[in-house]
Structure 1
Amino acid sequence: MARTTLDTAALAHDLRLAVMRFSRRLRNQRVDTSVTLTHLAALSTLKRHGPMSPGELATHERVQPPSMTRVVVALESRGLVTRTPHPTDGRQVVIDLTPAAEDLLTEEVRAREAWLSGQLHDLTAEERAVLREAAVIMDKLASG
């Protein structure tokens, strides 16, 4: 039992470091470095979930509403989001992506996936098969 615990702890350590390094490398494959990762995360949430209020966006991004207000102001000033009146609550606004934001997100994904495809191309077929299985397992870990 003690050996299993040690093996699990060592795996947790190695996996954490590998994921952090990999994530850092992937994040560095940026198209527009003037847009922060926080801004990209908010834009990606809007793309995934559709238009929403700043409060809803803050909840999705796990930040305080005043912080999200600053993000929305910055994104609006760059022409990446629009604010429109909420259809049923006059005190609220709805944040949505502009075509420029859609283009930016598409280019960001394209750049990262091009880099990753190049990295994967250099691996053996067996290594790519292991990564296919690992991707499923990592998704399971992230969901739980």
Structure 2
Amino acid sequence: MRLARRMRAEQSDSSLTLSQTSALATLERKGPLTPRELAAQERVQPPSMTRIAAALEVAGLVTRTGHPTDGRQVLLAASPAGAALLREDRRRRDAWLAQRLRELEPDEVAVLARAARILDRLAGS
């Protein structure tokens, strides 16, 4: 968990919360979603997602368009600015982690590789 916190610290200087960053990343990965679908993906209540999406939209990181088949609904999508922010965050985190990995001894790298395979297996079950 300390590693996850440290990697989040490498995030861009944006003022996004973890919930906002996660929702934005989900939209980038999954494509346009209704607020209810996004709330389900993020495992939050729809009213919470409404607040998260509104903040992202005000920041210009999310776009809101009408649903193509249901006029009562809207679709949220990562805007080009939102996608660019996520790319920069990933680039910074990847650079930080790559530097830390270069500092490890070969036997430590082997242990990490084995642990990664085990964690992947656990995540898949």
TM-score class normalised by the smaller sequence: over 0.9
Matches of 1:33 and 1:48, distance apart in 2: 20
How many residue pairs get matched?
125
* Structure 2 partner of 1:7: none
1:47 paired with 2:64, answer no
Matches of 2:12 and 2:41, distance apart in 1: 24
* Structure 1 partner of 2:55: 74
* Structure 2 partner of 1:126: 107
- Higher RCO (C-alpha 8 Å, min separation 6): 2
> TM-score scaled by structure 1?
0.83
CA deviation map 1:48-77 (0-9, x unaligned): 111110000000000000000000100000
* Structure 1 partner of 2:19: 38
* Structure 2 partner of 1:100: 81
1:95 deviates by 0.4
1:136 paired with 2:117, answer yes
- Aligned-partner SS, 1:83: strand
Q: Which runs of 5+ in 1 are unaligned?
A: 1-19
Task: Tell me which stretches of 4 or more aligned residues in structure 1 moved more than 4 Å.
Answer: none
CA deviation map 1:15-74 (0-9, x unaligned): xxxxx1111111111112411111110011011111110000000000000000000100
* Amino acid across the alignment from 2:95: A
1:142 deviates by 2.7
Identical-residue share of aligned pairs (%): 55
* Structure 1 partner of 2:37: 56
Q: Which is higher, the Rg of structure 1 or of structure 2?
A: 1
Matches of 2:13 and 2:122, distance apart in 1: 31
* Amino acid across the alignment from 1:70: R
Q: Which runs of 5+ in 2 are unaligned?
A: none
Q: 1:87 aligns with which of 68, 80, 91?
A: 68
